[in-house]
Structure formats: C-alpha cells, structure tokens
Amino acid sequence: MPFAFLLFTFTNVSFYPPKINQRFSDAKNAGKLTDANAVGFGASFVCGSFVRFFLHIDQETKSIAAAKFKTSGCGYAIAAAEVLTEKIVGKNLTELHGLENKDLRKEIEAELELFPGNRAHCLAICFNALHESFADFRTRQISEFAGEKALVCTCFSVSEETVEQIIAANETETVEEVTAFCRAGGGCGSCRFLIQEMIDIRQMENW
Ligand code: FES
C-alpha cells in the first residue's frame, strides 16, 4: 500500500466517536476564567489526568455567569467538561436540584451518547471538579456571611438552626426529606453532606 494512501487513511480516521470528536476538537469553554469565584479540581488515579473547573457565580442573582475548564485528560474528558460547562451557564443555583452524578451523567450522555465503562473516570473527574467548585463557592459565601445564625445552605439561605429543628420535629432520615421541608440541599448540593451529618448525629443521640 503506498505510503501517501496510508497517511491519508490515518489522518482522516478519528480515534474518538464522532460526537466526542466534534466536542473535543471544538471545545469553546476550554481555558482559564480570570474572574472565577468558584474553583474545583478532580483527578483520576486510573489514568493520572485532572480537570479544573472555573465558575463565575453572580453574588446577587446566584446565577452562573460563566464557566470554563482546563484538563490534561483525553477527548472523552474534554467533551464531558465542555458539555457540563455549557449546560450550567445561565442556571441559577436554586435550579440545580442537588446535582446528583447520575443526573449529570444522563445529561452528558444525552448529548454525547453512552460512555463506555472504561471511560467512567473521565466523567468522574468532571463531576468531582464541579462539586468541588460549588463547595468552594459555599465556603467563600459562609466566610463573608455577616448574619447572626450560622448558615448550612447558602443557595437557599437556610440556617443550621432551621435544619436542626426540621430534623428534630420530623425525625427525618434522609437529606431529601429535609430538602422537601426547607429546600436546603436542593441547589448546588454542596451542603448535603452537612445535612446528612446532622441527621446522623441526631439518630445517634436518639439511640
Ligand atoms: S449550599 Fe447549595 S444546595 Fe445548599
């Protein structure tokens, strides 16, 4: 087979499925956001790649004004980060419904088609970076909070006292139950671990 033909063949065959390839080769949100106020990092022990998310969240409206990412990952990671950043821009924190990984995966796969099992870590690093970004924003919000009662959920301004009262009065056993009562945990989801901890402490006290 002539060398020129071989070269033509290889340069025209993508290593990735078409939708992944299209997002990977035209990643509009790749890069750093200089005015980010929420930054998160995700890394994989499987392949050693990492991703960093940069979000700018409007302090007044609590909507995501801009999102970008940087990654050392493969085309799958780049495509997933591109779709995720695209989907969250313009959303208000109160519209995020706790950001469960299974829902995020559904959204990404609706755009890019199913990720094979050996690429699950490409998604996982993006999810971790996104969750960490919102946790970072929550930490910054709490450090600037000047109110009297400690906040648990900054997305819905729900205090620790309110969550404690709800858990005690209703014997709630899950974060979802607490969310149903006061909306805490139903935004970016970064307070959910704290709500779960409060439920666990209450249950241990009742033992
Ligand atoms: S801090 Fe975002 S859902 Fe509670």
pTM of the model: 0.89
CA dist 171 and 189 (Å) reads 21
* pLDDT for the residue 145: 85
Give the model confidence (pLDDT) of 104-147 as tens digits.
Answer: 999 999 999 999 999 999 999 999 999 999 999 999 999 988 88
Closest atom of ligand 1 relative to the 188 alpha carbon:
2
CA of 184 to the centre of ligand 1 (A): 6
Name residues contacting ligand 1 (CB within 6 A). Answer: 93, 138, 153-155, 184-191
Residue 8 has pLDDT above 50, yes or no: no
CA of 92 to the centre of ligand 1 (A): 12
Residue 2 has pLDDT above 60, yes or no: no
* pLDDT for the residue 148: 84
CA of 122 to the centre of ligand 1 (A): 25
- Which residue's alpha carbon is nearest to atom 1 within ligand 1? 153
Closest atom of ligand 1 relative to the 158 alpha carbon:
4
Confidence of residue 13 (pLDDT cuts 50, 70, 90): low
* pLDDT for the residue 207: 79
CA of 14 to the centre of ligand 1 (A): 41
Q: β-pairing, 38-43 with 50-57?
A: antiparallel
Residue 67 has pLDDT above 50, yes or no: yes
Main-chain phi, psi angles of 172, to 5 degrees:
-65, 145
CA of 52 to the centre of ligand 1 (A): 21
CA of 156 to the centre of ligand 1 (A): 7
* pLDDT for the residue 48: 94
Class of domain 15-142: alpha beta
Rg of the chain in Å (alpha carbons): 20
Mutate to test the pocket of ligand 1, among 131, 132, 138 (most ligand atoms within 8 A of CB): 138
Give the model confidence (pLDDT) of 143-187 as tens digits.
Answer: 988 888 899 999 999 999 999 999 999 999 999 999 999 999 999
Residue 205 has pLDDT above 50, yes or no: yes
Closest atom of ligand 1 relative to the 154 alpha carbon:
1
CA dist 120 and 145 (Å) reads 37
Give the model confidence (pLDDT) of 27-48 as tens digits.
Answer: 999 999 999 999 999 999 999 9
Calculate mean pLDDT across residues 61-89. 97
- Which residue's alpha carbon is nearest to atom 4 within ligand 1? 153
Domain boundaries, the chain: 15-142, 145-205
CA dist 105 and 120 (Å) reads 10
Q: Whose CA is closest to 65, among 30, 41, 36?
A: 36
Q: Which CATH number fits domain 145-205: 3.30.70.20, 1.10.10.1100, 3.90.25.10, 3.30.70.260?
A: 1.10.10.1100
- pLDDT higher at 198 or 146: 198
